[in-house]
Structure 1
Amino acid sequence: MKRFIQNIKNIWKVEELRKRILLTLSLILIYRLGSFIIIPGVNYTALAQANQAGSANVLEDLLSLFSGGGFTNASIMALGIMPYISASIIMQLLGMAVPAVQKMQNEGESGRKRINNYTRILTIGICALQAPSYLALYVKSKGAMPADETTLWWVQTILVLVAGAMFAVWLGERITEKGIGNGISLLITVGILARLPQSFISEVGINEGNLIKIVLEIVAFMVVVMATIFIVQGVRKIPLNTAKRVVGSRSVEDAQGARNYLPIKVNASGVMPIIFAQAIVTIPMMLFASNTETPSKLQTAMSDPYGLWYNVILAVLIIVFTYFYTAIMINPKKIADDLKRSGGFIPGVRPGEETADYIDSLVSRITFPGSLFLAAIAIIPAIASLAGVNGQFAMFFGGTSILIMVGVVLDTLQQIESYLLNRHMDGLMEGTRVKGRRSANELSGF
């Protein structure tokens, strides 16, 4: 413990790391403050009374979870960072089908900047569509619209919501560029963690006097977190032999020979399959939200995140998208070509086409248990709800929330670890290193 405290002190000895952490915390604080600034003209008293009456549905709770409460607060950042995520997903899908986008993806840094600009423009368009829907379907349904509702108020409120979402994107990009960790992912994580204490207190209040159940829920939550860390960090190491070069009279391993294995992650796709799948199954929930008088069987099934058919469809979509996104993240042919150029090869496998086929088959086999794990994580909240856990607290037992929290925390710790090790200091954990470092793009796909 004393060693760990000393390592924490070492963080503040590195000036650049200290500045980055302070900047990150400051920008996160600004984002959190923005979640409590109410849209001008909205009757917050009526909104709070409607929420306290328990009129919020599961979809509202889910959207509020990823906006840090900004959605249910009717704040200027009510749309949160989700429009940017949706735009990023659309751009990634276009990269699979549109040659012009594929060309930009292969242009390196300049192509990435152009894609980011198009993503921001698309984000503005998505916000412009979501903002009036949010006001009409949520704020108006709560009876929180201003008494003097005018066209001017609608226009300026839509502009405020769009500006709030873009400001959140700007904060995330500044954290990524000048702070520590991936900014967009950190903002989502902070929004999720902000709801955790309130959900846990609510669960304790419901089960007041039943201490055993509370303890069992905490233990189950910790087991899920540990299992998630285990899978997120899981790596299949493919042994490699590297060429040697002659320096003077000695045979020395080439620079590429410093690593004698090729790491293939069990969960190479990160949280993206769950985000893809939830984005698709959420569409019917949003479409059905306006028709509550005569709900059909399909509407009832797809509007219940804890129902059987919802979770079956969600699990199948996650498995499909895991293979889809892994194919985007890992290119066996490119890996084989890079190995061939560097003089490396897999023992017993010929360089070139045979190596690409070997890696492709291995990735396919590894992806299957990874996809099953993601599907299992996604449906754990439904299982927790059936076990009697409060709906708000059950959301933290799995799904996107647990993967994002674990992934972002690990990624941030790995970046801090790198700063310390680069300055010949001990890492955060005595006798160990945080393994499986993931890039910001791999974690969030943004």
Structure 2
Amino acid sequence: MISAFASTWKVPELRERILFTLAMIVLVRLGVHVTLPGVDSSVIDEFLKQKQAMGGDDSGSASIGTMLTIFSGGGLTQMGVFALGIMPYISASIMMQLMTAVVPKLAKLSREDGGRQKITQYTRFATIVIALVQGYLLAISLNNPGNIPGLQGIEQVAATHGELVPNYGWVFIFTTVVTIVTGTLLLMWLGDQITERGLGNGISIIISVNIISALPGALGIAWQTLVVGDAGAPAAAFLVFLVAFLIGVIAAVIAITQAQRRIAIKYAKRVVGRKQYGSDQVQYLPLKVNYAGVMPIIFATAILSLPPFLFSQLHNLEMFKDWDWLIKSQELFRQDNVWFYVISGVMIFFFSYFWVATMFQPSEISENLKRSGGYVPGVRPGKPTADFLDFTMTRLTFAGSIFLSIIFVLPWFVSLMPLIFMSKKLDLMVTSFFGGTSLLILVGVLLDMMRQVETHLLQRNYDGFLRKGKLKGRYDKLQQNGATASSNVTLYLIIFMAVILVLGAASWFAN
């Protein structure tokens, strides 16, 4: 594996793609820390310092704030120009993907020549609409920033350090909406550039970088909780256990993500010219155990994040002040409530089967096999083959749903472990790396990047990451069609990264 990493720099095209991707990542992270016009950045800095010193956030909206941090990379709490991150594009993509599977006209369009490009255009138009709505809601919420997930308690900081938005008005709202929408579209463009000229899927890489950007803050919170505190030797031993446990969880997630049921496919005997095809030829149809991926968790978390927000907004109204059941209902959806995870588990099961039923089409697969002369040994072609594939996928989906439910509950379970020897729980920002959406996305993106790098290496007669066999996956879909960036562009990007690094180091030493 070490030789494979060393060989990546021996392939000029691969080296240029890696450098280009790194330069785009620098631009993404730079936009997160550029504060919106009209927002006092000193108030945000002081709030984040106090939040880390207290060991994180254990409020009822902590889970919502953590999910928003995943897709915005801290841009929401930093109030940067990338405050919404890539969330509008992800929402639009999921919506169009579901509509393509449900609406017959869109399904027909996706199978036509150039149909995918049309659906991509529709997705981008939907992204603009969603970004406008979310940007406006965020702009008007800055008048009372304590209601924004992840910024609870900033009013106390603003009382001593000044208002977060000194000159709030319609000019500020208009400027903020335009800036946020522009930032979202710029992120979408950067993702397309990474996909075309860089390494891996650009949107997925941006999300992964945003997740990893929360790691230093999570380590600082863990240090404040387990080392700086008065827990003593048990806390230090628990910290070592957490590192080992994290490695085991990552290994298990990789194993389940790669796991698949291979259905043997044989082809009827055919004679083309002087060559004979089929008969003894056996191919395999891979069915993934976790076919739905991370989508059920995203759906469940997004839906469960709406009720507490709506209940809190209603309770702030004068006519609903005396409605105690709103407070009790809001407590039901807290991230430290058992019922929250019970409801989440049920929803994950539902959305796992919903996603598979929407995206996996056994009848279409059976018909394609029948046309090409393929069949499953022991199963008649046509409808019996479709029923067999549907039955097999149903059992695999059940196992995948259990896996997703365990992964979703795992961060909460890890956060409760310190209660054995101390009176404080671990912050959700720390435990989110032990499961949930963050870990699944990271594992999936890194595996795809390794497959693509291995493809480049094998094509040029270098050894891959594994001595025996290859990383499982579809290699043909990992190849970029776009040309790499020119040498001059790569050189300018390297110089730009160096300047940013020097300025960042100078600013750190100055502070």
User: What is the TM-score normalised by the length of structure 1?
Assistant: 0.91
Deviation by residue 1:252-293 (Cα, 9 ceiling, x = unmatched): 548x94x62221110111111111111111122332343566
Deviation by residue 1:88-109 (Cα, 9 ceiling, x = unmatched): 122223224433322322325x
What corresponds to 2:5 in structure 1? 8
What corresponds to 1:444 in structure 2? none
Measured in 2, the distance between the counterparts of 1:99 and 1:248 equals: 40
Q: Is 2:12 the partner of 1:34?
A: no
The answer as to whether partners of 2:331 and 2:337 remain within 8 angstroms in 1 is: no
Deviation by residue 1:61-85 (Cα, 9 ceiling, x = unmatched): 3312331111110000010001111
* Correspondence for 2:254 among 224, 229, 241: 229
Residues 283, 379 of structure 1: CA spacing in aligned structure 2 closer, same or farther, 3 A cutoff?
same
Measured in 1, the distance between the counterparts of 2:328 and 2:82 equals: 34
Task: Say which is worse superposed, 422-431 or 409-418, in terms of deviation.
Answer: 422-431
What corresponds to 1:25 in structure 2? 22
* Correspondence for 1:412 among 449, 454, 467: 449
Deviation at 1:405, TM superposition (A): 0.5
* Letter aligned with residue 10 of structure 1: S
Instruction: Report which of the two structures shows the higher radius of gyration computed on alpha carbons.
Output: 2
What corresponds to 2:352 in structure 1? 322
What corresponds to 1:200 in structure 2? 219
Measured in 1, the distance between the counterparts of 2:306 and 2:273 equals: 66
What corresponds to 2:77 in structure 1? 72
Secondary structure of residue in 1 paired with 2:376: coil
Measured in 1, the distance between the counterparts of 2:355 and 2:277 equals: 39
Residues 139, 80 of structure 1: CA spacing in aligned structure 2 closer, same or farther, 3 A cutoff?
farther
Measured in 2, the distance between the counterparts of 1:17 and 1:29 equals: 19
Q: Is 2:241 the partner of 1:216?
A: yes
What corresponds to 1:158 in structure 2? 177
Task: Say which is worse superposed, 341-350 or 35-44, in terms of deviation.
Answer: 341-350
What corresponds to 2:122 in structure 1? 118
What corresponds to 2:415 in structure 1? 385
What corresponds to 2:136 in structure 1? 132
The answer as to whether partners of 2:140 and 2:173 remain within 8 angstroms in 1 is: no
Measured in 2, the distance between the counterparts of 1:131 and 1:271 equals: 26
* Correspondence for 2:465 among 398, 407, 428: 428
What corresponds to 1:274 in structure 2? 297
Runs of 5+ consecutive residues of structure 2 not aligned to the other structure: 146-153, 419-425, 479-511
Task: Say which is worse superposed, 87-96 or 46-55, in terms of deviation.
Answer: 46-55
What corresponds to 2:422 in structure 1? none
What corresponds to 2:332 in structure 1? 301
Secondary structure of residue in 2 paired with 1:80: coil
Deviation by residue 1:280-307 (Cα, 9 ceiling, x = unmatched): 11122332343566652111111x1232
The answer as to whether partners of 1:47 and 1:139 remain within 8 angstroms in 2 is: no
Measured in 2, the distance between the counterparts of 1:287 and 1:77 equals: 25
Deviation by residue 1:188-220 (Cα, 9 ceiling, x = unmatched): 111001111320232122111422100111122
* Letter aligned with residue 305 of structure 2: T
Measured in 2, the distance between the counterparts of 1:438 and 1:326 equals: 22
Task: Say which is worse superposed, 401-410 or 47-56, in terms of deviation.
Answer: 47-56
What corresponds to 1:107 in structure 2? 112
The answer as to whether partners of 1:74 and 1:139 remain within 8 angstroms in 2 is: no
Secondary structure of residue in 2 paired with 1:116: helix
Measured in 2, the distance between the counterparts of 1:64 and 1:51 equals: 13
What corresponds to 1:91 in structure 2? 96
The answer as to whether partners of 2:7 and 2:457 remain within 8 angstroms in 1 is: yes
Q: How many residues align?
A: 434
Deviation at 1:137, TM superposition (A): 3.0
* Letter aligned with residue 244 of structure 2: V
Deviation by residue 1:125-178 (Cα, 9 ceiling, x = unmatched): 111111132233357324444322231221011100111111111111211122
What corresponds to 1:265 in structure 2? 288
What corresponds to 2:504 in structure 1? none
* Correspondence for 1:357 among 387, 391, 396: 387
* Letter aligned with residue 306 of structure 2: I
The answer as to whether partners of 1:95 and 1:102 remain within 8 angstroms in 2 is: yes
Measured in 2, the distance between the counterparts of 1:247 and 1:152 equals: 72
* Letter aligned with residue 88 of structure 2: P
What corresponds to 2:44 in structure 1? 47
* Correspondence for 1:311 among 300, 317, 341: 341
Measured in 1, the distance between the counterparts of 2:20 and 2:269 equals: 45
Deviation at 1:31, TM superposition (A): 0.4
Measured in 2, the distance between the counterparts of 1:184 and 1:262 equals: 28
Deviation at 1:401, TM superposition (A): 0.5
Task: Say which is worse superposed, 47-56 or 4-13, in terms of deviation.
Answer: 47-56
* Letter aligned with residue 425 of structure 1: Y
The answer as to whether partners of 2:258 and 2:472 remain within 8 angstroms in 1 is: yes
The answer as to whether partners of 1:411 and 1:437 remain within 8 angstroms in 2 is: no
Residues 440, 311 of structure 1: CA spacing in aligned structure 2 closer, same or farther, 3 A cutoff?
farther
What corresponds to 1:396 in structure 2? 433
Measured in 2, the distance between the counterparts of 1:194 and 1:154 equals: 28
Measured in 1, the distance between the counterparts of 2:272 and 2:450 equals: 38
The answer as to whether partners of 2:37 and 2:175 remain within 8 angstroms in 1 is: no
What corresponds to 2:165 in structure 1? 146
Task: Say which is worse superposed, 148-157 or 263-272, in terms of deviation.
Answer: 148-157
Runs of 5+ consecutive residues of structure 1 not aligned to the other structure: 442-446
Residues 289, 161 of structure 1: CA spacing in aligned structure 2 closer, same or farther, 3 A cutoff?
farther
User: What is the TM-score normalised by the length of structure 2?
Assistant: 0.80
Residues 288, 176 of structure 1: CA spacing in aligned structure 2 closer, same or farther, 3 A cutoff?
farther
* Letter aligned with residue 461 of structure 2: H
Secondary structure of residue in 2 paired with 1:181: coil
The answer as to whether partners of 2:32 and 2:74 remain within 8 angstroms in 1 is: yes
| Percent identity over paired residues | 40
Measured in 2, the distance between the counterparts of 1:315 and 1:193 equals: 26
Deviation at 1:385, TM superposition (A): 1.7
Task: Say which is worse superposed, 28-37 or 239-248, in terms of deviation.
Answer: 239-248
Task: Say which is worse superposed, 180-189 or 59-68, in terms of deviation.
Answer: 59-68
Deviation at 1:434, TM superposition (A): 1.2
* Letter aligned with residue 252 of structure 2: A
